Structure 1
């Protein structure tokens, strides 16, 4: 695509009605319509938010995988997020993508959301501010960022049908605010709507949301695009303001739209407005200088690895460190154990997943840190997978011995034609094949058949389990013996975005060193026996093959405890537990907060035998930790991307001094969280009963102590803040007023380290209605301070309008209420808080992205938040 902008009005004047309609939907999964005669090119989109997958779910080109967004939220670091956004822009160029579908900025109402790991935080200011930095980074490479999903797409259960019932106040103060901040600060070129209804109307056809708020109030001029298959109407969506339906081929914007126009249900001037938005997006995309239908390549560079490692390590939160057990000593003998130790838990599931350039496990990272790899030993303990580990990379091809297997595609079933001939043959390594974007010229429909063939050579003798998950039908054979039948009788599951089965398993005894032929016969989704409703069907289905040696959990735990207790053999013990993409994924919500079966028992018993064992948790959202009071050293490590294992090791051994803070509240139990009684769809609706009291706002209001509070995170050093001062500043043209805090930060410990400052504002005691006790309004990461070093830190200016306002439903406007507010700057460590009061002298209502509030600062004090 040449960096030449088209004349939008000239093009619009020459477009036929059919061409206008064609521009308003995609032509396939990832591309918009080109009009060559008028110089309008096709634009490519690609999934984010934590990487750029390109145009292929199926057998895609490897890419850089960033830590998940909750991990990025934990950094509280706008500069780092901006750099990662720039990296994503560069990755887009490698994948030929003009538009990146990210960041995700939905709010985690509670801990069970299947896509909770995809969003930054439970707090709208942290989410919106980091989203703005992310978009700025992406835009710096002339790539279009797409914040998503507008709005209240906070659960997966019946996500395309559920009606999210939420008060206007909560909608504005919690759920729309991240979008308001991101759009106001970064002006990204695109915005994606959500699947769900909001107060009775699907978001993609809600005129109050798209026209009144986004277009008129926020003055947003970028593209508004549907989530994939998230368009549900012809005239309603067009009239409300949805510019682009994705993916193609269109369900609603072909002959049906022409008919709506001719019957006057949609005015042609409305079509023209939608086309203008698409053409503006095309002009923005042209600045990237990415050609149409560009080839997809890898750009696995040392600089990329270094940035990803920094992001992984700086996202790790130190939750506990009693007795300064951490950091570990690289010269001492170390035992590593647990279900997440020897696997690369690098990303969650669903549209955020992608094949990474490479991955690192915690065990690999720890071994690389020690003075000799021989100092590190490993034992499994228990498994933590929901589905058996992918088998593909454990196989080799019979033809040439390459790692992987042979994937063959047929247009007929084996029963219909025993002499059938494959129309396509591929070599693959991943044994999870989602066929949404598989194409071949001889495959004319969604009904086709696949075989997968590879050789498995076990390293240990024993009973092996094999698993087969399908959206379709499948049979798995080992040396000609049927081991798994997922065809004759099928159960509804949550795989492949909700259209597939659960994993069906079978077992067989295998001998170490012997070669076994593994063969899978698979038929695509239309061959399935299941009847699926209230889920989006993403194409012709998919197949997943897993396998692992069966272990006896009780014996494995006994062995782990025996080794951990042996202080003569091991000086240090690290237990790695958590979730993975089996448990946290688009398409389904978690049924509970618990770790996989056996994990809690393993940790309980290891800590009883070895109280100084370090526990490392990897998850995208909170998990229950019934053993937390017994753990002396505890890390929350998230899904850390390509460099997850190295990032964990960097913190364990002190090469990186942790500064990260929790972007989510970790409740003690599921029942403690504020959404407990109002989560999941019931009768087609979900009531946001906690109103504005989401996350820490709820715990503060009711005086309940969670397991770990929002914003919690320790360091290997200590800090003290003092000398808080406030300055009120008017911006040019008096469009807004801002408060600029400055504070002195001192490293009072013995190690160099970075600090994170969190700025909260408490409302006046005379407020007219109940408000949260305090709300995050700004934050800043202070670069590394040497031991004893002090630095005066000027925090980013805070909009007084946003810092002091609540949504007044009676006036349908923001209200900055007169009164005395208290600003708290919270640092690392107990009681490390400085506070000062400022006064809003008169109440004022406002709308839009900003407000103008008269203020003055008074009587600065030090105190506790």
Structure 2
């Protein structure tokens, strides 16, 4: 058996320099090794919907699972467990000891750029799905990292903003999912948020790390219990710790306490058998592909099916199916930012629907109808070359390779000096935070990206470019885009890149080859003070221009000529991403008009919306059929087709409320740039987040929390409750019957109301749920076990949880606005407690 360190012996053996070294990361994804004390370096990787591995750039492909809002909307803790296990297996294959997931921040606003990364607006769904996910990951000997602790729910000024709320709201809404997950899964690592909210403690025994560049103090962060500063090299520790020790701002015992937690996790990593500094490999098995497909279909929510258009079947007599929309042809597997990865493979909605239609003998007609991109679609499908089998080549120099390199009119005949290093790539979206040989390439560098551009359509082509640095785009030696002279800052590359500039090149012919070259330097980018180690980056987009009215007109005609139209609209990783929040709830471009016009000409239209969080749907009353798909991972297309064509009976229910308009959302007056006051965001809605707010205001949402339809129907009956024990435990049991003609799964929800509380409380609150599978005509009695959390509130006067004696209403519901059964329980004696 491999050597497993003894924590106390190793701590005693470490020099002070060795201890201080361990308090910060080594680069983006590792802790430091201390060879003289036999301490190996741990490896970590981003989730939450996959294991990207060590590289943003030219990384090893990974499986992409549905976004967290999709997994949360499955209301399926067993599925979350299986997904966690699969992620644990892939982490092991990539020699990864720590998965930086799951994200369990309560979704305060649908505008949050990273909203898709969290499971729910409700702490019970959030915490229970997270606990199952964590248990799955850690069953494979890989540490899960619960994050971001706490109130990290907007991207606007996230490195500096102070999240200010009442202690009650903090405890009941924002800390509660962490509390549930810590109690039920014991995550081995925890990541703090990059804001000013203080760290809470429940006697947590695991290792605590910062979010990337989320440490702003030395002695204070160490004293507060933050073990590891990430990423490296250190900014707030290192020599600063020596100075704090000398001034007795810190003591050696403080340092030892932090190092001890890091060594304990290393000990666990050694026991798991995951190699240190091991290879990165992918995982691709039939079982994994089936799990990806199951997860994709289970993450789908059927919102409307008024004319029973779905499921599409051979009995429907379908001969022609129109597939329309910008989210149909491209597989948008996840949101953007650190959650995005290079998928091992993808299945687009168009591909999945086409394969399913073929089984019915139906013909597919596709047209885009309208565009959804924030930036032009990535140009990767249109580039080719022979650079080591990859379509493009990146070359790096440590000084300008000739006198005109960054000019808008360079001398292409002038010889370039030999480059310091080069690498082939298949990407046109390149973030050089890693993947560069730093032994050959200095921090400040000059870069050339060269390839062959081959359009697939005749016409005028639009190019879009944004870069982390300064540079220019040339096609056949002619300047197309100038970003070399003081370009404005934009949102891409974690808000460190330039604006995206577009230009049109007219009259390109399909199949003709064109030399494409991007020349850039990161010199000014580095000089501005990049908070993360990075050699720059570029994002190249290309799209054959289509007149908007012509595209709409064509889509309407295709829909009119078809038996059924499937319109796939929504957002993508450019609209929902780490680094920035959404400005509004609208679908971009002409998508709303596209949906309305298709509905006008074809009454058998299925609208599929794909987004991580809610969008406005001005056409919803005209749409007889509506499906919410979220971001479905690798198997998005097959999972969607399985639901549309009836291979899978949809069973998802919304884990977040869909509002009718932005002004209805609870956080509307105090969110983002318009809600901040002097660097603070005031959480004015208090505990009334999500459905709690809509119910207390008697305000109808577009679609309620917990809502979702099936191809069958369910009947609830026979609710019973047990007596409440002195410490608050009781159970709720009831019978669910499938009254339809096909097998289905129902997510039944239990809500509690406290009408006698001494403080204001929500109308009702979700306190438990269960998912039951039933054959046609089958009935099952199910039981939901609850504890003191179901009866309690947080009392700021006592700084403790309080369960007050009295009668509580119990509601068994199909959704927050569809109560099927009710009962009462009684707590005979009040009690209080603190901690978990």
TM-score by length of 1: 0.92
Partner of 1:689: 684
Deviation at 1:371, TM superposition (A): 3.0
The structure-2 alpha-carbon separation of the partners of 1:464 and 1:29, relative to structure 1 and needing over 3 Å to count, comes to: same
Partner of 1:173: 172
Which stretch shows the higher mean deviation, 374-383 or 70-79?
A: 374-383
Q: Any idea what the Cα deviations from partners look like across 1:514-567, whole Å, max 9, x if unmatched?
A: 11111111212x3249958xx94452332111111011111100111112122x
CA RMSD of aligned residues (A): 1.7
The structure-2 alpha-carbon separation of the partners of 1:317 and 1:17, relative to structure 1 and needing over 3 Å to count, comes to: same
Match of 1:523 among 514, 518, 521: 521
Partner of 2:274: 290
Distance 2:570 2:527 in 1: 32
Distance 1:528 1:684 in 2: 26
Partner of 2:775: 786
Partner of 2:409: none
Distance 1:439 1:427 in 2: 11
TM-score by length of 2: 0.95
Deviation at 1:459, TM superposition (A): 2.2
Residues 675, 689 of structure 1: 8 Å contact kept: yes
Deviation at 1:766, TM superposition (A): 2.1
**1:740 maps onto 2:731 in alignment:** yes
- 1:850-865 equivalences in 2 (<5 Å): none
Partner of 2:294: 310
Residues 760, 774 of structure 1: 8 Å contact kept: yes
Which stretch shows the higher mean deviation, 431-440 or 653-662?
A: 431-440
Match of 2:337 among 331, 343, 350: 350
Q: Any idea what the Cα deviations from partners look like across 1:630-669, whole Å, max 9, x if unmatched?
A: 1100000000000011111111111110110001111111
The structure-2 alpha-carbon separation of the partners of 1:171 and 1:315, relative to structure 1 and needing over 3 Å to count, comes to: same
Q: Any idea what the Cα deviations from partners look like across 1:718-761, whole Å, max 9, x if unmatched?
A: 0001111122476xxx8x54222221111001111111111111
Partner of 2:411: none
The structure-2 alpha-carbon separation of the partners of 1:830 and 1:441, relative to structure 1 and needing over 3 Å to count, comes to: closer
- 1:418-437 equivalences in 2 (<5 Å): 418-437=415-434
Partner of 2:410: none
SS in structure 1 of the partner of residue 278 of structure 2: coil
Partner of 1:565: 560
Deviation at 1:572, TM superposition (A): 1.1
Deviation at 1:441, TM superposition (A): 4.2
Distance 2:589 2:661 in 1: 16
**1:597 maps onto 2:594 in alignment:** no
Deviation at 1:484, TM superposition (A): 1.0
Which stretch shows the higher mean deviation, 362-371 or 418-427?
A: 418-427
Distance 2:297 2:737 in 1: 23
Match of 1:219 among 199, 203, 222: 203
SS in structure 2 of the partner of residue 88 of structure 1: helix
Residues 24, 228 of structure 2: 8 Å contact kept: yes
Residues 114, 589 of structure 1: 8 Å contact kept: yes
The structure-2 alpha-carbon separation of the partners of 1:364 and 1:143, relative to structure 1 and needing over 3 Å to count, comes to: same
The structure-2 alpha-carbon separation of the partners of 1:528 and 1:252, relative to structure 1 and needing over 3 Å to count, comes to: closer
Partner of 2:249: 265
Distance 2:568 2:698 in 1: 32
Residues 755, 828 of structure 1: 8 Å contact kept: no
Residues 81, 130 of structure 1: 8 Å contact kept: yes
Query: Number of aligned pairs?
Result: 818
Distance 1:493 1:237 in 2: 32
Partner of 1:474: 471
SS in structure 1 of the partner of residue 575 of structure 2: coil
Match of 2:444 among 430, 447, 453: 447
Partner of 1:855: none
SS in structure 2 of the partner of residue 834 of structure 1: strand
SS in structure 1 of the partner of residue 607 of structure 2: strand
- 1:72-471 equivalences in 2 (<5 Å): 72-198=71-197, 206=198, 209=199, 213-214=200-201, 218-329=202-313, 332-371=319-358, 375-397=363-385, 402=389, 404-416=391-403, 418-471=415-468
Distance 1:435 1:399 in 2: 19
Distance 2:558 2:569 in 1: 17
Deviation at 1:487, TM superposition (A): 1.7
Distance 2:153 2:296 in 1: 25
Distance 1:830 1:259 in 2: 59
Deviation at 1:451, TM superposition (A): 1.4
Residues 753, 763 of structure 2: 8 Å contact kept: yes
The structure-2 alpha-carbon separation of the partners of 1:530 and 1:499, relative to structure 1 and needing over 3 Å to count, comes to: farther
- Structure 1 runs not aligned, ≥5 long: 199-205, 850-865
SS in structure 2 of the partner of residue 323 of structure 1: coil
**1:752 maps onto 2:747 in alignment:** no
Residues 499, 537 of structure 1: 8 Å contact kept: no
SS in structure 2 of the partner of residue 562 of structure 1: helix
Match of 1:761 among 740, 752, 756: 752
Distance 2:689 2:395 in 1: 50
Match of 2:614 among 613, 618, 622: 622
Q: Any idea what the Cα deviations from partners look like across 1:166-190, whole Å, max 9, x if unmatched?
A: 1100000000001000011101110
Residues 660, 713 of structure 1: 8 Å contact kept: yes
